[in-house]
Amino acid sequence: MRELADWNGVPWPQLGLVTTAEQYVHAVRTFSAARVAGERDLSGVGPFLDELRHRGVAFDRKELSSRFAWDLRLRPDLADLWPLPEGLIFTLAKTPPFGGPDSEPEDDCTEEELDRMVSVLGPLTMNVSWNCRWRGLPEFKDCGVQLCLNSVWAEQYAEPAPGEFEVWVSLGSRVASTPAGDAWLRDSGLTLGEAQAGW
Amino acid symbol at 171: L
Which secondary-structure segment (H or E) carries 187?
helix 179-188
pLDDT for residue 60: 74
pLDDT for residue 90: 93
Question: By the 8 A CB rule, do 159 and 196 touch?
Answer: no
Amino acid symbol at 28: V
DSSP 8-state class, residue 11: B
**Measured distance CA(37)–CA(132) in Å, rounded:** 34
**Measured distance CA(5)–CA(172) in Å, rounded:** 14
Question: By the 8 A CB rule, do 25 and 90 touch?
Answer: no
SS3 157: strand
- Spans of the chain, pLDDT less than 70: 9, 62-64, 101, 103-107, 197-199
pLDDT for residue 135: 92
pLDDT for residue 94: 79
Question: By the 8 A CB rule, do 198 and 146 touch?
Answer: no
pLDDT for residue 24: 94
